[in-house]
Amino acid sequence: MANDILITNIKGLAQVREISPTFLSGAAMGDLPVISNSYLLISDGLIADYGKMENVPSIHAKEIIDASGRFVFPSFVDSHTHLVFAASREEEFVMKIRGASYAEIAAKGGGILNSAKKLRATSEDELFENALERAKEIIQLGTGAVEIKSGYGLTVKDELKMLRVAKRIGKLTPLTVKTTFLGAHAVPAEMKKAEYIKLIIEEMLPAVAEENLADYIDVFCEEGFFSPEETERIVMEGKKQGMKPRIHANQLHRSGGVQVGVKTNAMSVDHLENIGEEEIQILKNTKTMPTVLPGAAFFLNLPFPPSRKMIDEGLPIAIASDYNPGSSPTGNMQLMISMACIKMKMTPEEVFNAATVNTAYAIDLAQTHGSITRGKVANVFVTKPAPSIAYLPYHFGNNFIERVILNGKIIEH
Ligand code: NIG
Ligand code: FE
């Protein structure tokens, strides 16, 4: 066994779980297990051992990192992104500043259709190069595993192109990548909705399945996009092809997305800016992970999801970035957790649980990612010196990470 890295004198080794939980809900979200004055041993790309410094093993490690005054965490798992896109959309940002709404911009051919136009004109290699830059950026910000969606192609060829790029990111970077087919993101300008849904079901889904390009199927369930009935029909067809559902639900309206998600056993329902009592009750005792995307709520000036109330009622919460050019042009999970503390009244313990254990569950990585557990993939980061864990989300806007280790290897800047 190759002892690759020994991290010593850790001020606090956070999110240590002897037995990996499936996910954390309600009061359990408030508990973040930390071992103070500790060590972490990484061997063969995996977490081999950890404990108090007084028990540090006297072994030869290729690399020793002294983490005095610093915390060590498992890397963030970002369970919702649109990381593959062709171009930024700051012109819409300015339109929004001047008073236009997201829905108005979308109705005028901006928004998702604007991204689709640009993506169709971009080659697969160029798209990959663009996405690679974003992948490198989120790695430095502490993300170790990420879900990436299609949904800016809206033709068979371009949806496949996006998913191939996402898969390539998984192969050619240290990130663990899960992919989601989101053909039902918007209806392309050149088609009627019924015709497009037929294309999704009869041509896109079989082609995506044939190349084994997607783990999940997603639909933007929203007024002006896809109705709950259409969402259900599309995800049920995806299920037949082996893709598990996850839903863009309740972003702009009480769209019925949560109800369809629960009914179809979705892995997660994401956004939730517009949910009420009924949706909260429906989510209870289900396996569907309610996922909040603080970047999108902030960027679009939407109400923040009622995470505090949901946790107090016993629900789990996951936090993801929604990295995309239209509603959250950042994949910075550090910023997401700060916003969740500040705008949603989640505690520092809760936000770290939401962005590691719960997001790992949401993309079927609970067995391998999201906590410091023996045998899990050695995806960890070492913070800069910090007085406490609460200081990390408190000192928002600052990169609190000093070193990143993915798959047991130190990532150079
Ligand atoms: O999750 N809401 C739908 N999809 C993305 C935004 C897409 C876009 O505007 O490009 C989201 O916010
Ligand atoms: Fe999204």
Q: Please give the mean pLDDT across all residues of the chain.
A: 97
Rounded to whole angstroms, the Cα distance separating 225 from 278 reads: 22
Of 44-48, 77-81, 86-90, 101-105, where does mean pLDDT reach its minimum? 101-105
Same domain, 212 and 274: yes
The answer on 214 and 231 residing in a single domain is yes
Distance (Å, whole) CA 63 – CA 410 = 10
What's the Cα-to-Cα distance from 60 to each of 5, 54, 377, 382, rounded to whole Å? 9, 17, 21, 21
- Same domain flag for 64 and 118: no
- Is 82:131 a contact under the CB 8 Å cutoff? no
Type of residue found at 380: V
Q: Identify whether residues 150 and 270 lie together within a single domain.
A: yes
Q: How confident is the model at residue 103 (pLDDT cuts 50, 70, 90)?
A: confident
pLDDT beyond 90 at 52: yes
Q: Mean pLDDT across the stretch 347-359?
A: 99
**Angle between helix 156-172 and helix 124-140 axes, rounded to 10 deg:** 40
- Enumerate the H helices of 246-362 as residue ranges: 257-263, 277-283, 294-299, 307-312, 333-344, 348-354, 357-362
Q: Is the CB of 272 within 6 Å of ligand 1?
A: no
Q: Which atom of ligand 1 is nearest to the CA of 322?
A: 1
CA of 279 to the centre of ligand 1 (A): 21
Q: In testing the pocket of ligand 1, which one of 96, 104, 220, 269 has its CB within 8 Å of the most ligand atoms?
A: 220
Q: Quick check: CB of 323 below 6 Å from ligand 1?
A: no
Per-residue pLDDT at 107: 83
Looking at the structure, tell me whether residues 14 and 119 fall in a common domain.
no
What secondary structure letter does DSSP report for 368?
A: T
pLDDT at 48 over 80: yes
- Tell me: pLDDT of 177 over 70: yes
Cα separation, 81 vs 320, whole angstroms: 8
Atom 11 of ligand 1, nearest CA residue:
327
Q: Angle 96-100-105 (CA atoms, 0-180°, nearest 5)?
A: 95
Instruction: For a ligand 1 pocket test, name from 95, 324, 336 the mutation site with the most ligand atoms within 8 angstroms of its C-beta.
Output: 324
Residues 292 and 227 in one domain: yes
Q: Give the distance (Å) from ligand 1 centre to CA of residue 221.
A: 11
Q: For the chain, how far is it from start to end, CA to CA, in angstroms?
A: 27
pLDDT at 13 over 70: yes
The yes-or-no verdict on residue 363 having pLDDT over 70 is yes
Strand partners, 143: 76
353/364 Cα distance (integer angstroms): 16
- Indicate which ligand has the atom closest to the C-alpha of 299: 1
Confidence of residue 150 (pLDDT cuts 50, 70, 90): very high
Which residue segment(s) compose the domain that 380 sits in?
5-74+371-411
CA-closest residue to ligand 1 atom 3: 220
Cα 323 to middle of ligand 1, angstroms: 9
The CATH number given to whatever domain includes residue 68 is 2.30.40.10
**Bigger pLDDT: 324 or 110?**
324
Let me know whether 63 and 91 are in one domain: no
Is the minimum distance from the CB of 305 to ligand 1 under 6 angstroms? no
Average pLDDT over residues 245-262: 97
Residue 248 Cβ inside 6 Å of ligand 1? The answer reads: yes
Whether 2 has a pLDDT exceeding 80, the answer reads no
Instruction: Please indicate, yes or no, whether residues 105 and 143 belong to a single structural domain of this protein.
Output: yes
Percent of the chain at pLDDT exceeding 90: 96
Any ligand 1 atom below 6 A from CB of 326: yes
Q: 322 and 298 in contact (C-beta within 8 Å)?
A: no
Quick check: 16 pLDDT over 70? Answer: yes
Whether ligand 1 lies within 6 angstroms of the CB of 273 is answered as no
83 φ/ψ angles, rounded to the nearest 5 degrees? -65, -25
Both tokens assigned to 124: 């697969």
Give 102's pLDDT tier (boundaries 50, 70, 90).
Answer: confident
Residue owning the nearest CA to atom 9 of ligand 1: 326
CB atoms within 10 A of CB 27: 10
Residue 112 near ligand 1, beta carbon < 6 Å: yes
| Whether residue 95 is found in the same domain as residue 146 | yes
SS3 content of the chain, % helix, strand, coil (to 5): 35, 25, 40
Q: Look-up: residue for tokens 């700060």?
A: 338
Q: For ligand 1, is residue 392 a contact (CB within 6 Å)?
A: no
Domain count, the chain: 2
Q: Which atom of ligand 1 sits closest to the CA of residue 300?
A: 12
pLDDT (average), residues 327-340 = 98
CA angle 113, 292, 398 (to 5 degrees): 95
Would you say residue 71 has pLDDT above 80? Answer: yes
- Considering the domain architecture, whether residues 151 and 273 belong to the same structural domain is answered as yes
Residue whose CB lies within 8 A of the most ligand 1 atoms, among 82, 180, 272, 321, for a mutation test: 82
Residue in 89, 102, 104, 112 to alter for ligand 1 test, most ligand atoms within 8 A of Cβ: 112
SS3 labels along 311-323: HHCCCCCEECCCE
Check residue 108 and give its pLDDT: 82
Instruction: Using DSSP, state whether 303 is helix, strand or coil.
Output: coil
Do 70 and 87 share a structural domain?
Answer: no
Q: Whose CA is nearest to atom 1 of ligand 1?
A: 322
pLDDT at 1: 61
What's 304's domain CATH number? 3.20.20.140
